[in-house]
A and B are shown apart, each in its own frame.
Chain A
Amino acid sequence: MKVLVAKPGLDGHDRGAKVVAYALRDAGVEVVYSGLKRTPEEIVAEAIQEDVDVIGLSVLSGAHVPLTRRVLDGLRAHGAGEIRLVVGGTIPPRDVDALLVLGVSRVFPMGTPLPEIVKFFQEVTP
């Protein structure tokens, strides 16, 4: 299992992303962290280059819907639709379904316990 934890868009808050990255690493998952302010196109390219199974997007600015859509479009355009996408951050309840309809595998809104996130990655089959 290899995961790209990525920060798309302009939001500079990386506490959540790094905490999840640490927790996954401690759980034996191979983790790559993108750094801040990556464009969806850069994230798609890095995911393909690193050959990851899952991308975890962290968005705290409210721009999660357009950013997620662009990452998914990019993956499909590059024939990498098999890479799964999960999204975490300040995702209001009303947007959770919208993200799932777009093709996101799982949404972790604020308040999600860390063990629940780790469990998802342990159970998902690459």
Chain B
Amino acid sequence: MRDVRLHAGIPVKPVYGPEDLAGRDPARDIGQPGEYPFTRGIHRHMYRDRLWTMRQYIGFGTPAETNARFKYLMAHGQDALNVAFDLPTQLGLDSDDPRAEGEVGRVGMAIDTLADMEDAFAGIPLDRVSVSLTINGMAAPITAMYYAVAEKQGAAADRVVTTPQNDILKEFVARGTWIYPVDPSLRLVGDLIEFSARRYPRSNPVSVCGYHIREAGCTTAQEMAYGLAIAAAYVEMMLARGMAVDDFAPRISFNFTGWGKIFEEAAKFRAGRRLYARLLRERFGARSPKSWMFRTLIGGGGSAFTVQEPENNIVRGAYIALAAALSGAQTMALPTYDEAYTIPSAKAQLIALRTMQICAEESGAADTADPLAGSYYVEALTNQMEDKILEELAAVERMGGIVEAVKTGAIQAEVARQAYLFEQKLVSGEMPKVAVNCHVGDRPAEADREVELYAFDPRVAERQVARLAAVRRERDDRAARAALSRLTDEARSTANLMPAIMEAVKAYATLGEICQAMKTVFGEHKEPIKW
């Protein structure tokens, strides 16, 4: 018989039965949906009361172009936005910085000043639409710009729902948009969490991501373990800053992938919810049930998609949507079938949105809470995943804890090692991929490449640089300089930097200037190169 092993290394038996659940207490471990420890989901009726939010990741070119795509998807039933920023924006470089050459407006939209953020959300009421901002190292200034636009629109602060990613630890592990050294980077994460908790009570000021670490190569169990370790590090930091756990923990959210084997994914999330609830309640003493809830976006994971026969990715997307629904996602996002090649076309974005809508309306996956509960296989697997995740958490402790492991590069090296092991399984065929290592068709490789491509317009950078120059010319330069100098001064103190950043943003200081005002004090991160 064929040997089957999950990504987490767990062997799968050909059949499961009641003996696989012997010795477990269903009331304690499984419980009811909407009740501690939330194994079955964080809401009692799950999608019968409220469907998951559909939030495709979008952003390219200038803010005006991105604004048009936002409106296109909203007109087709997307109910929330997930903004992609270009790399110069993510790294705090202005569009006219020499290091930004070739990168302006490429992988997301370019933001240089508050004026750009105003264009990006023109005609989109920020007291009614929830917007997640995929921004980390520059989360504090970009979120400050977002708050400033909401204020200008007249939105009440307690109606603004935004989720800046603001998870810098995972950037050091994977994805790489770090700027400052680890400690001042963490301070900025904390400043934004604290400021938002006090002024913008419905914002979710940190979205802890296992997603990117998994995309970088780690296993399912590691994805959950590293995410939980990072969340715990932020909770500890906020407690050390003097906040009460129930004053910020209810607004912590998560971002994970769901692209693997369907039942392994469901088990990963069921075990993760249980572990997180226990962590918050037992280790951190949270009293509010909202603090115990693992609220998560479950997304595709472009690494599941292939460049060979790309139309097959539409089918893969449908299975990912099903896995996310069966895993209890609060929000869903799918990669697009052309994503292995290019920035998604409007057509590909629409197919991804329609995939989630078909899953919601037609498949029946949303009809009842946690439909997999009680399955011998899924319950046994949930228990085994819990054990695996705990093993991986213990491994992180042996590296000195997640913050230390990030500083030494030990965790980056482990993720790279896993990526290589995974690649070897693809080469050997142990990890099957249709049209890649099995059922390989005779279609010539060139024919695979006839997907409609998003054509990047090189004039985007010229338009963006011209806009930046105009803003610099028209602003009150003295006010901008004064705000930047205040920011540098406060970076030397232990003050929360958000008020100074808000002042700089409103004076139309550029993102590059704001980044530099802090870099003068913080310095730059030096990557530990371990592989």
Contact = CB atoms under 8 A, between A and B. Distances in A.
Given A33-B529, A61-B106, A12 B171 contact: yes
A12 B107 CA distance: 12
A90 B531 contact: no
B88 A113 contact: no
Interface string B411-455: 000001101100100110000000010000000001001000100
Contact of A62 (B101, B107, B176, B178): B107
Interface string B164-179: 0000000100111110
Main secondary structure of the interface of B (DSSP, over half): loop
A107 to B, nearest CB: 13
Contact of A37 (B176, B420, B453): B176
A36 B176 CA distance: 7
A125 B453 CA distance: 36
A35 B216 contact: no
Interface in B366-397: none
Contacts of B436: 111
Contact of B307 (A10, A110, A114): A110
Contacts of B174: 15
A14 B175 CA distance: 8
A91 to B, nearest CB: 9
Nearest to B303: A15
B423 A63 contact: no
A21 to B, nearest CB: 6
A9 B103 CA distance: 8
B102 A63 contact: yes
A65 interface: yes
A36 B527 contact: yes
A23 B420 CA distance: 8
Contacts of A90: 340-342
A93 to B, nearest CB: 5
Contact of A15 (B88, B101, B217): B217
B310 to A, nearest CB: 10
B88 A10 contact: yes
**B interface, size bucket:** 35 or more
B306 interface: yes
A39 B102 CA distance: 13
Given A13-B176, A22-B531, A93 B446 contact: yes
Interface string A2-14: 0000000111111
A61 B107 contact: yes
A93 B310 CA distance: 14
Interface in B459-498: none
A111 B307 contact: yes
A62 B449 contact: no
Interface centre among A11, A36, A67, A111 (most CB of B within 10 A): A111
A18 interface: yes
A39 B176 contact: no
Contacts of B426: 114
Contact of A19 (B101, B106, B420, B529): B420
Given A18-B531, A37-B176, A90-B340, A63 B420 contact: no
A110 B420 CA distance: 16
18 contacts: A9-B103, A10-B99, A10-B100, A13-B216, A14-B416, A15-B174, A19-B416, A19-B419, A21-B531, A23-B420, A62-B106, A62-B107, A62-B456, A63-B101, A90-B340, A110-B307, A110-B340, A111-B307
Given A22-B416, A63-B102, A115-B427, 7 more contacts: A9-B102, A10-B99, A11-B107, A62-B102, A63-B103, A113-B427, A114-B423
Interface of B: 87-88, 90-91, 93, 99-103, 106-107, 171, 174-178, 215-217, 303, 306-308, 340-343, 416-417, 419-420, 423, 426-427, 436, 446, 449, 453, 456, 527, 529, 531
Interface of A: 9-15, 18-19, 21-23, 33-37, 39, 61-63, 65-67, 90, 92-94, 109-111, 113-115
The 7 closest A-B pairs by CB, nearest first: A12-B176, A111-B307, A63-B102, A66-B102, A10-B87, A18-B416, A22-B420
